Amino acid sequence: WAARLAEPDALSVAFRRWQGQQQPVMGLAAAGIGMGFGVGFAVGTLFWGTFLGALLGLAVGLFMRRQIVRQQSELALE
């Protein structure tokens, strides 16, 4: 009975907060891979274009995630 009454993880506030923090990282990494693939294909360096695009996308995503976490902690302190 307790399992039926408990709120599913997908609806919990903690899960939604965690998911919101992960979305920029994965989204920008995917965008970086796609853009790097396209540029690498055009230039003729498919591997390096994709690899550098993924690194750049992850770096920007992690930076944005840090900003989101900082804003959430500032809101929690207020």
**What pLDDT digit, counting tens, does each position of 60-72 carry?**
988 988 888 888 7
What's the rounded Cα separation, in Å, for the pair 78 and 69?
A: 15
- 73 burial class (0-12, 13-18, 19+ CB within 10 angstroms)? exposed
**What pLDDT digit, counting tens, does each position of 3-43 carry?**
555 666 656 777 778 888 888 888 888 999 999 999 999 99
Cβ neighbours for 34, distance < 8 A, ≥ 6 positions apart = 53
